[in-house]
Structure 1
Amino acid sequence: MFKILVIEDDATLFGEIKDRLSQWSYEVYGIENFDKVLDAFTDINPDLVIIDIQLPKYDGFHWCRMIRNVSKVPIVFLSSRDHPTDMVMSMQLGADDFVQKPFHFDVLIAKIQAILRRVYNYSTTKPTIKTWCGATIDYEKNSISNSLGVIELTKNEFFILQLLIDQKNTIVSRDELMDRLWDDKRFISDNTLTVNINRLRKQLDKLELGKYIETKVGQGYIALEKEPSSYD
């Protein structure tokens, strides 16, 4: 049974989310003290976290940062705000998805199921270790390392890298990436993929590998194993 922590201060909405997710046999937890969200996270050790942006004292972005400091657990943001910067900020902080309020519960459940399948099932059919551009990729730890150091990626970042490397030196379309990352891309902004790609490159730049993820304008992205001229 997957454990889901819902960081939501609207008691009515939390109750509805808990009831719906419980029908799918998820174990749902809420927050009693919004000053101690990280303590609750540590105690519960959830498989997925849902965070509202507007919360008492500290907003959801703050708690996302705190959680990301200690865990790569999948995070889904909820928000009644419709400014594009909220989605961009969420993705830059390492969120796996963003759901706009008001939302249909079937959409939320579908997104949760897609993330859980991707995060906790895909690695069982893949090799544990792979190499790319002289770097070692650890599928169990979601990490990549070379002589410059080791970086750990979020689930989305690692999944994108995996998809590109599995088809290295071949263009992977934006549509294919979105289809694989999010089961129903009708509810995903095209900008969401761009943010995730840019975030992945920024991480890879720490190992001087970002240049090997190249944009093919109007086509998609390609993971190279040769020196690229540039990337967008």
Structure 2
Amino acid sequence: MFKIMLIEDDETLFGEIKERFQQWSYDVYGITDFNKVFGEFTNVKPDLVVIDIQLPKYDGFHWCRMIRSHSNVPIIFLSSRDHPTDIVMSMQLGADDYVQKPFHFDVLIAKIQAVLRRVYDYNTEAISLRTWCGATIDYEKNTVTSEKGTIELTKNELFILKLLVEQKNKIVSREALIKSLWEDDRFISDNTLTVNVNRLRKKLEALSLDTMVETKVGQGYVAIEEG
């Protein structure tokens, strides 16, 4: 389980982000004293830091400098400030990415996964088997098996199904899917995503699972699992 330190003084936003991160099995740590951010960082030793720019006492740039002077831990800035100089400053200080508020949680998760994968050689297919609606998804063999038989999926079809199933019963936006596919070097456009989802549904039809991947018009897709 990766440890993420979330340096955010907006308690409501912190709570929302923490809940989403925990849904992805990340261990989330906050800051109890914004005068001692670096001290809390050294105690926690997180695998990744998400930090706001506007903070009490010292800004995020200050703490980024402090952290970078002692650690190469990946850092993602999260801020409502959209001036180009802020983004440039973040990169110059050694940040790995910059996410502007307001943001879509799926996009933030995709960026975090991409950074973790790049920095820690994180294998998103470390769990080789996953059950869904009575079927077994084999990430190594690219197959889905149920009592009705076995179907084979392409790498893109499997990746899409995996992203949906890991967020089952939750809408995953088209933007988040495309972002995740691009970050994983599976270069895919909006039109190509539609084609892949349609092909995935066509194959799932053989297992009577095609209706379990729903389109939410104007929002994205959701993998349904009842019970």
Q: TM-score range by the shorter chain?
A: 0.5 to 0.7
What stretches of structure 1 move > 4 A for 4+ residues in a row?
179-186
Q: What is the CA-CA distance between 1:64 and the residue it aligns to? A: 0.1
Aligned-partner residue type, residue 54 of structure 2 = Q
Structure 1 segments unaligned to the other structure (5+ residues):
124-178, 187-232
8 Å Cα contact 1:79-1:99 kept in structure 2: yes
Match of 1:10 in 2: 10
Q: Compare CA radii of gyration and give the structure with the larger one.
A: 2
Match of 1:218 in 2: none
Structure 2 segments unaligned to the other structure (5+ residues):
124-181, 190-227
Separation (CA, whole Å) in 1 of partners of 2:56 and 2:16 = 20
The secondary structure found in structure 2 opposite 1:103 is coil
Separation (CA, whole Å) in 2 of partners of 1:183 and 1:52 = 30
For the aligned residues, what is the CA RMSD?
A: 2.3
In the alignment, structure 1 residue 34 sits paired with structure 2 residue 34? yes
Aligned-partner residue type, residue 95 of structure 2 = A
Taking structure 2 as the reference length, what is the TM-score of the superposition?
Answer: 0.55
Match of 1:110 in 2: 110
Taking structure 1 as the reference length, what is the TM-score of the superposition?
Answer: 0.53
Number of residue equivalences: 131
Q: What is the CA-CA distance between 1:185 and the residue it aligns to? A: 11
Separation (CA, whole Å) in 2 of partners of 1:30 and 1:39 = 12
Structure 1 residues 82 and 183: CA distance shift in structure 2, 3 A: farther
8 Å Cα contact 1:91-1:97 kept in structure 2: yes
Kindly provide the CA deviation profile for residues 172-211 of structure 1, in whole angstroms up to 9, marking residues without a partner as x. xxxxxxx66988999xxxxxxxxxxxxxxxxxxxxxxxxx
- Equivalent residue runs for 1:71-220 within 5 Å: 71-121=71-121
Match of 1:59 in 2: 59
Identity %: 74
8 Å Cα contact 2:116-2:122 kept in structure 1: no
Structure 1 residues 81 and 4: CA distance shift in structure 2, 3 A: same
Match of 1:50 in 2: 50
Separation (CA, whole Å) in 2 of partners of 1:9 and 1:108 = 18
